[in-house]
Structure 1
Amino acid sequence: MKQIHYIVLIFTVLFTMSSCEDFMDIHKDFIKDGEIIYSPKVDSVSFIAGEHRMLFRCWFYKSPNVRSVDLYWNNNQDSLITSVMPSAGIDSIDVLLPDMEEKSYTFNIRTTDMFGHKSLWTTDFGNAYGASYQATLADRRINEISMVEKNGIIEGKVTFYSAISLQVRNQVRYEKNDGSVSIVTALPEESEILCPDAKVGSSFETRSFYIPEEEAIDTFATEWVVSSKNFPVVYMYDRSAWKALAVSDETASDGGGMNAVIDGNLGSYWHSRWDGGNVP
């Protein structure tokens, strides 16, 4: 019985040695020239969109020996080698990529250290924008145009519908009473633009600004468009400080009371007594 155990043990050892030799054969091609030393990979990257350009942003972590960031695109037909000397902690670089055709790109990035070692590849994506994107943009829609008076100053007021996504500001260009031209700006969350000293009955123009992506480095503006309606020739005085001082009579059943006459709300009303009593 012991003899059988010895025979099994011998076969097991021989099989294990053979397996190890086969395992080493697999790796011989990879280590025949010695071990491979890699430069540290970039910690993270991003490509920020612009108009026929992009901003390449790259972060390093504990990579003081790195001496260049090697960037390739268009199937590695185009490249940019940027010299760097990152610190021993967290560090970053920004590199502008100009003259980029309007399209989507795939980028391959690696580093080279001071000894000539290359890092493993990092792949990321980015977009450049131009005329095709510009052609998709539209002005913010106008809801209402009016003239208002406040503190003795006549102002044109342009009220917009809600702004759409990635719209960053809107402008109105108009003529003032002295003949000069002025431009006023509103943010997307603002629904109104006031145009101080706007000329009554005059025309005006609008345009809108967009970014193609969040954090984009360039904005795109629509062309100036003349509004289909002018500022009106009539306007309402500011009645916020007005008060009705006296009336002939006032009762609770007579509508909103005497101040309803000047509250600017066509849905409210007031009238004097019309039934019963002595006619004043």
Structure 2
Amino acid sequence: MNNYNIKYSKIKVLFALLLAAILYSACTKQDDFKKFVEGGEISYTGKLDSVKMFSGDSRVLLTGLFLADPKVVKCKITWNNGKDSVVLPVVKKNAIDTLIYSIPNVAEGLQNFTIYTYDKVGNKSVPVYANARSYGDRYKASLSNRPISSVTADASTGKGIISWLGMDKLTGVFATEVQYTSTNNVIKKIRTKIDSTSTTIPDLKAGTDIQYRTLFLPDTSCVDTFRTAFQTQRVLLDYTGYFKNSGNPFVSDGGSGRWRVLKDWVVSASVKNHGGYGSWCSDQGGTLAMEMGWSNTAAIVDGKIYQSLTLPAGKYNFGIDIGANEAIDPVYIVAAVGNTLPNVNSISTAIAYTNFADKNLQFTLTQPTTVSIGFLATMTTGNQYWVVKGISLKTL
């Protein structure tokens, strides 16, 4: 046999061995594959599509789409490392159906969920993973009501004003809700955004309180609103409207000079010591005032500037906004029963009185009473004056 034939024979042997190895390997892999498909080929159902999850109050909300697979008969959702689960029957009415399901009793915190669909013989889809947060008692315990600076209502019109203090927005706070009794005895609610610093109540019944609570959404995906408990807040009634011409600025009864007479106030003759005028001064835009001295102004004896009004029982604060105080002799703020103020030497007969510089006079009425409220002074020393820009009367 020549060398060519020997080489050719070796090649045939090597080729035969290589072909045998390939065939053996193929048979082995086929046998291995058969181990995994014993009883038939693997069949997967269509998975839940377009899955979204939303946080909530001790729950999460799941949404998704069942697409065109008609074999799907149920959906299983597991969480808490598979310890908790729920199985939902699926009865499709359309080629594409929507799933909206609230998963209840989910422990507080971030939870991971796995979702499978199944056909009637138990074949399941590939898993779909999603997560959402459940809020519970720990979150609720961290919530507090928005603080209030003050609540006042105009006793003459029923218009109420709530002044709010600030609040940390990181808590999820977004609004406050106020419940009140209207002037028509109807229980009403009004909502105010957290960015607003005040709330106006147009028809608050006098003598009633308000109840309020604060609303929270802990994150932008949350489907539940969290609320604090209602808290009662006393309303301070504002009786300033019972006065005519309460200032800022005060109005005169006419004239053109610096000194005139206050409109709607009772002014004693001794206060009109500027050629028959006095009690109103053009300083600071229009003020209630008394002045004596400077060589051309007579002393003021038992000078009175006041108004009389009938008030219900209650505790009151009469406040003044002082524009200037250059008084030398005592000047009093006074509240007295009846239609006039007492003289200085009888001031102890008044319900209450205090020094003008105190800016506030407090008094109590045990029953509806007609009272006179205003200013009393005897000014005889040197050069002196005082100025009031405005007044207020509110309950305590």
Q: Which of 112, 134, 137 is matched with 1:131 structurally?
A: 137
- The reply to whether residue 32 of structure 1 matches residue 4 of structure 2 is no
- Of Structure 1 and Structure 2, which has the larger fraction of its residues in strand? 2
Judge which range, 153-162 or 60-69, deviates more. Answer: 153-162
Q: Which of 13, 19, 24 is matched with 1:13 structurally?
A: 19
Change (3 A) 1:66 1:178: closer
- The reply to whether residue 66 of structure 1 matches residue 72 of structure 2 is yes
Q: Hey, what does 2:166 align to over in structure 1?
A: 161
Q: Counterparts of 2:94 and 2:181 in 1: how far apart (Å)?
A: 59
Q: Is the 8 A contact 1:147 1:200 kept in 2?
A: no
Change (3 A) 1:100 1:138: same
Alignment length (residue pairs): 247
Q: Hey, what does 1:184 align to over in structure 2?
A: 190
Q: Is the 8 A contact 2:152 2:236 kept in 1?
A: no
Q: Is the 8 A contact 1:64 1:87 kept in 2?
A: no
Q: Is the 8 A contact 1:63 1:86 kept in 2?
A: no
Q: Hey, what does 2:359 align to over in structure 1?
A: none
Q: Which of 123, 135, 140 is matched with 1:117 structurally?
A: 123
Judge which range, 105-114 or 30-39, deviates more. Answer: 105-114
2:159 match: secondary structure: strand
| Correspondences of 1:102-251 after superposition (within 5 Å) | 102-142=108-148, 145=150, 154-161=159-166, 164-165=169-170, 166-173=172-179, 183-198=189-204, 204-225=210-231
1:23 match: secondary structure: helix
Q: Is the 8 A contact 1:73 1:79 kept in 2?
A: yes
Q: Counterparts of 1:7 and 1:233 in 2: how far apart (Å)?
A: 118
Judge which range, 106-115 or 157-166, deviates more. Answer: 157-166
Change (3 A) 1:52 1:9: same
Per-residue CA shift, 1:149-174, capped at 9, x if unaligned?
7x966331424536715323212345
Q: Which of 69, 86, 94 is matched with 2:92 structurally?
A: 86
Aligned-partner residue type, residue 85 of structure 1: V
1:185 match: secondary structure: strand
Q: Which entry has the higher C-alpha Rg, 1 or 2?
A: 2
| Correspondences of 1:251-266 after superposition (within 5 Å) | 261=285
Q: Counterparts of 1:23 and 1:181 in 2: how far apart (Å)?
A: 79
Which runs of structure 1 show a deviation greater than 6 angstroms over 4 or more consecutive aligned residues?
175-181, 199-203, 245-249
1:66 match: secondary structure: coil
Aligned-partner residue type, residue 65 of structure 2: W
Q: Is the 8 A contact 1:50 1:217 kept in 2?
A: yes
Q: Counterparts of 2:197 and 2:66 in 1: how far apart (Å)?
A: 44
Q: Counterparts of 2:99 and 2:201 in 1: how far apart (Å)?
A: 43
Q: Counterparts of 1:147 and 1:230 in 2: how far apart (Å)?
A: 5
Change (3 A) 1:66 1:176: closer
Q: Hey, what does 1:56 align to over in structure 2?
A: 62
Instruction: Return the TM-score normalized by structure 2.
Output: 0.49
Q: Is the 8 A contact 2:162 2:199 kept in 1?
A: yes
Instruction: Return the TM-score normalized by structure 1.
Output: 0.66
Q: Hey, what does 2:314 align to over in structure 1?
A: none
1:96 match: secondary structure: strand
Per-residue CA shift, 1:170-203, capped at 9, x if unaligned?
1234576789875421134544311224478986
Change (3 A) 1:222 1:116: same
1:14 match: secondary structure: helix
Q: CA RMSD in A?
A: 4.3
Aligned-partner residue type, residue 213 of structure 1: D
Aligned-partner residue type, residue 158 of structure 1: S
Change (3 A) 1:152 1:199: closer
Q: Is the 8 A contact 1:156 1:197 kept in 2?
A: no
Judge which range, 171-180 or 38-47, deviates more. Answer: 171-180
Q: Is the 8 A contact 2:77 2:115 kept in 1?
A: yes
Q: Counterparts of 1:233 and 1:201 in 2: how far apart (Å)?
A: 12
Using CA pairs under 8 Å that are at least 6 residues apart, name the structure with larger relative contact order, 1 or 2: 1
